[in-house]
Structure 1
Amino acid sequence: MILDELVTVTKARLVRHKRRQSLAELKQTITSMPADSKPDFLEILKHPSLHVISEVKKSSPSKGMIVTDFPYLKIAKAYDQAGVDAISVLTEPDYFNGHLHYLREISQVVSAPTLRKDFTIDPYMIYEAKANGAGIILLIVAILSDQQLRDYRELAESLGMQAIVEAYTADEVKRARQSDAKIIGINNRNLKDFKVDFNNSLKLRRLVPADIPVVAESGIQTQQDVKLLADANFNAILMGETLMRSTQKQQLIREFKEA
């Protein structure tokens, strides 16, 4: 299963990162950082609208190389100018060709909060996200215990970040709720085989109470898709491949926000 492989390579990457920079050094870096002036993502989601998280992504396990030309700063600035509510940045290097320096550099030039899109399996990665400018992290229910979900979310919040707790099944939505998640993401992509079912988010939306913001993730391609999600009372959508392949990114974002 692809998800198991992703966790394995993430563990190996963590070992390398911890050798290069200790947790104590990471914490010191955070202490010396200026206060974050970007809006809090949870507060953004409380405003009645369908918010857009646009993703900066070079490749994926299912689609391979999505783009060969990858001016990531230009792409992020275009998203920002189009009025997106957050920018997701892939930092997983082995399967997605991501890197932490993409997150760090993008966070420095955009006004929207940034999401570190990775497979968070250790508190070190949360401190690492903060040190590189992230205002949001992703916690995937399928790879974390109930205690980890709660502890990692609380750690992120203590550092001034928010956590999107991502679920794919009804049981995972239940676990996300039991962890007191402030934001729940419903993925249309099964991370075990990377197959996409757009209806998954529509099917599971009813399991999340109205007072918890919900993000629909993956497989969103058209204005009709966006309208269906808006009608289902989703608070936000996360879009990656569709935007990355588009030559009219800003126009597409505006069209989706209007839809």
Structure 2
Amino acid sequence: MTVLDDIIVGVREDIETRKRTRSLADVRQAAADAPPVRPFPPESGFGLICEVKRSSPSKGALADIPDPAALAAAYASGGAAAVSVLTEQRRFGGSLADLDAVRAAVDVPVLRKDFMVDEYQFHEARAHGADIVLIIVAALDDAQLEDQLALSAALGMSALVETHTVEELERATEVGASLVGVNTRNLKDLSVDSSRFAQLAAHAPPGAVLVAESGVTGADTVAEYARAGAHLGLVGEALVTGGDPAAAVASFTAAGRAARP
């Protein structure tokens, strides 16, 4: 199996465990009662989606993050456009409790970043206050992709549709995705090539808001992505390991804005 396949096996097992303690009907009701969705993406300029990320399959442990709310608040003070919260536990050390804490701590939109393979997760995301969800094209067939995009919209959430190849970008175009992530990480072997963003961005849906994902090591990478057409950058490791997340967010955002065509 690929790394992605292996992660999804664990995700499905964990979903079934949660379903035994909280029914889909209960989660749907909680989603209906959740606070209003915060609109995303921003209308103009370049912005950062900043991640609360403890670990990753490629690097292992990255940062302890005992207080995800405090980290999210630092991101917001640095000018983050949104905060991304990893909720997958086995490989990323995240949880829905992290999502709850971050949603209560910041006014900017919050992304539930997970491997979405079941309707249950979308209602769960909204019940825990998510404004945005991640949809990974590589994990879905065409019918599932279309269904997930429609369900996100029905729940009022924005959907970041993540792609890794030209073929996946074409599939995103077919379903009408308007917020499109281009991940420079290969989900089969976890290698990263930041030059892939420019190569793939040329095939993005016309008029789509483009999010450059993975591979950011500093402001120079953010500027590279912005010059190639990124409207947003999604950054995790460089922020949680850098020592001053608020300053890093401000610096990276400024670099992106200066480099935008």
- TM-score, structure 2 as length reference: 0.94
Structure 1 counterpart of 2:16: 15
Contact 1:90/1:96 (<8 A) preserved: yes
Structure 2 counterpart SS, 1:184: strand
The structural deviation recorded for 1:69 is 4.6
The structural deviation recorded for 1:2 is 1.0
Alignment of 1:102-113 (within 5 A): 102-113=98-109
Structure 2 counterpart of 1:41: 40
User: Is residue 2:94 matched to residue 1:98?
Assistant: yes
Contact 2:177/2:205 (<8 A) preserved: no
Structure 2 counterpart of 1:26: 27
Structure 1 counterpart of 2:163: 167
Moved more, 246-255 or 112-121: 246-255
User: Is residue 2:113 matched to residue 1:117?
Assistant: yes
Structure 1 counterpart of 2:259: none
Structure 2 counterpart of 1:64: 60
Q: How many residues align?
A: 254
Structure 1 counterpart of 2:75: 79
Distance of 1:80 and 1:156 partners within structure 2: 24
In structure 2, which of residues 241, 246, 253 is the aligned counterpart of residue 245 of structure 1?
Answer: 241
Moved more, 86-95 or 209-218: 209-218
Structure 1 counterpart SS, 2:150: helix
Distance of 2:8 and 2:35 partners within structure 1: 32
Unpaired stretches in structure 2, ≥5 consecutive residues: 256-261
Contact 2:172/2:205 (<8 A) preserved: no
- 1:41-61 CA-to-partner distances (Å, cap 9, x unmatched) read 13x1x31x1110000000011
Contact 2:88/2:114 (<8 A) preserved: yes
Runs of 4+ in 1 over 3 A off after TM superposition: none
Structure 2 counterpart of 1:140: 136
* CA gap 1:61/1:86 in 2 versus in 1, 3 angstroms: same
Q: For residue 32 of structure 1, what is the amino acid of its counterpart?
A: D
User: Is residue 2:189 matched to residue 1:201?
Assistant: no
* CA gap 1:178/1:251 in 2 versus in 1, 3 angstroms: same
- 1:29-87 CA-to-partner distances (Å, cap 9, x unmatched) read 12223434x3x113x1x31x111000000001111100135321110110011110010
Distance of 1:229 and 1:247 partners within structure 2: 23
Distance of 1:209 and 1:95 partners within structure 2: 31
Contact 2:212/2:234 (<8 A) preserved: yes
The structural deviation recorded for 1:159 is 0.9
* CA gap 1:150/1:70 in 2 versus in 1, 3 angstroms: same
Distance of 2:3 and 2:82 partners within structure 1: 27
Contact 1:58/1:70 (<8 A) preserved: no
- 1:140-179 CA-to-partner distances (Å, cap 9, x unmatched) read 0111111111111111111110001101011111111111
Distance of 2:161 and 2:4 partners within structure 1: 16
Unpaired stretches in structure 1, ≥5 consecutive residues: none
In structure 1, which of residues 220, 227, 231 is the aligned counterpart of residue 216 of structure 2?
Answer: 220
Distance of 2:158 and 2:65 partners within structure 1: 31
- TM-score, structure 1 as length reference: 0.95
Distance of 1:200 and 1:29 partners within structure 2: 40
Q: For residue 3 of structure 1, what is the amino acid of its counterpart?
A: L
* CA gap 1:33/1:209 in 2 versus in 1, 3 angstroms: closer
Structure 1 counterpart of 2:46: 50
Structure 2 counterpart SS, 1:94: coil
RMSD (Å) for aligned C-alpha atoms: 1.1
Identity of aligned residues (%): 37
Structure 2 counterpart of 1:155: 151
Distance of 1:248 and 1:15 partners within structure 2: 38
